[in-house]
Amino acid sequence: MDTQNTYNKPVTYKNIFKFAMPTIAMSVFMSFYTMVDGLFVSNFIGTNALSAINLTAPVIQLVTAVSTMLATGGSAVIMKKMGEQKPKEAREDFTFLILVNVTAGFLMCLLGYLVMEPLFEKMMLSAEVAGYCTSYLSCYLLFTIPILLMNNFTLYMIASEKAALSLLCSVTGGVLNMVLDYVFIALFSMGIEGAAIATGLGYSVTAVVGLFVFGNKKNLLYFTRPAFRFKVLSGAAANGCSEMATAMVTGIITMMFNWTMLHYVGENGVAAVTIIMYVLMFASSLYTGYSYGVAPMISYYYGEKNSEKLKKIINSSLKIIAAISAATAAASFAAAKPLVTVFARPDNPVYSLAVTGNQICTLALLFIGFNIFASGAFTALSNGIVSAVLAFSRSFVFMLITMLILPAFLGINGIWLATPAAELMALALSAGMFVKYRRMYLG
């Protein structure tokens, strides 16, 4: 198989989008069918059940954090070796890291079952919401290993020039999830357990297909006899630690949002936060998909020491993200009421909270894309430390500062302003890091 054709093409907007569009579409679609979960739950079960999904999100994010680290960091390490013309080592490392993920998935599943009940007890929730939380998470955790394999195979398919197949798997899994949501919730009245099972089965599609894809030796990456190299594991962990930090810290910040909302508004506030998170996640998926799409190119060009192509793809990417940021912010602000109406009717107290929150949080969309790309770019350049600093500062340090200060002075509006303020602070740090390391990578 000639693996050089794609990476040897000129870095033009056309070729960048040709490489990245499948991952953008995949990321957008995955966020869309996550929103559909919320749509079915809020309309067929109620906003209390919708609150429960958000309350379980921190546990899910903590459970998948290790896999996220190994997937993103491992992809950078492996594609760098491909660029260095070491395909045998890359395939051995790939197989080894997949086995590590399976082991981690089993351990994370056990950890999830151990922490969920004590966590929900400390939140002082109503009996109804607490019951929804336990029911949803108990079913979701059964699919931990398939979900972790999905996280890995998605990125490795992209790196193996099979982004279209990865997109097809995501679309198939998403359609399956939506169909099963209707069947389990609307027809069979399985409640929130049905939503969790539908999600798990939808995610499992990529995991199953990936086993067949990477079992075929005609592909760029395939399973082979693994070689245990501690340096590879530590390198993958170091490169991907920013993504792990993001996942873990997102869980912690989500808990802070929930607790703050419970303090100021109650469980209706948690439901409003959930709706706004869906909207932000849908818009942010454009940036995430783009960053994942171009990351293998950045890693490859870095491996072959092609500073000219590196400079071109990074400069072009910043212009693309600027255009996407302006468009998504304008669309989110203009469509605030219609978006919220999908989840809560105007006579529901959650509605007015969510509309106001969405209009304020939309400001964050002007900055999020640059911050996501900056962290992803440094990961692809095998500079996990800088990537981790960016991700940790953005997701935790700046969010913690804004969450502690703004609500104290501005009340509920301070909660909504916390995200845009934190993203703006992160943007300043990202710009500083690009300037500092520009000569090192771009000459």
- The first and second tokens of residue 434, run together, are 């690009």
Predicted local distance difference test score (pLDDT) of residue 422: 94
Q: Which amino acid is at 288?
A: T
Distance CA(256)–CA(191), nearest Å, equals: 27
Of 182, 151, 185, 180, residue with least CA distance to 30? 151
Amino acid (one-letter) located at 418: A
Do 309 and 381 form a contact (C-beta atoms < 8 A)?
Answer: no
pLDDT tens across 366-417, in order? 999 999 999 989 988 888 789 888 988 887 899 889 988 999 898 889 999 9
What type of residue sits at position 299?
A: S
pLDDT tens track for 4-17: 456 788 888 888 88
Q: How far apart are CA 28 and CA 18, in angstroms?
A: 16
Query: For residues 192 and 136, is the Cβ–Cβ distance under 8 A?
Result: yes
Q: How far apart are CA 38 and CA 20, in angstroms?
A: 28
C-alpha–C-alpha distance, residues 371 and 390, integer Å:
8
First to last CA, the chain: 32
The Cα 61–Cα 363 span in angstroms is 24
Q: How many helices (H) and strands (E) does the chain have?
A: 17, 0
Given the structure tokens 């760098």, which residue do they identify? 80
pLDDT at 368: 93
Q: Are 181 and 240 in contact (CB under 8 A)?
A: no
- Give the CA distances from residue 193 to residues 37, 190, 393, in Å, rounded to whole numbers and listed in that order: 12, 6, 35
Residue 348: strand, helix, or coil: coil
Task: List CB contacts of 139: < 8 A, sequence separation 6 or more.
Answer: 193, 196, 197, 200
Which range in 20-29, 128-137, 164-173, 230-239 is most confidently predicted, on average pLDDT?
A: 128-137
Q: Could you tell me if 369 and 377 are in contact, meaning their C-beta atoms sit under 8 angstroms apart?
A: no
pLDDT mean over 270-289: 82
Among the residues of 9-46, which ranges form H helices? 13-44
Question: Which three-class secondary structure state does DSSP give residue 381?
Answer: coil
Q: Does the pLDDT of residue 1 top 90, yes or no?
A: no
Contacts of 30 (CB under 8 A, 6+ apart): 170, 174, 285
pLDDT in tens, 31-57: 776 777 788 888 889 888 888 888 888
| DSSP letter string, 225-265 | -----HHHHHHHHHHHHHHHHHHHHHHHHHHHHHHHHHHHT
Task: Quote the CA–CA distance of 239 and 73 in Å, as a whole number.
Answer: 4
pTM beyond 0.75: the answer is no
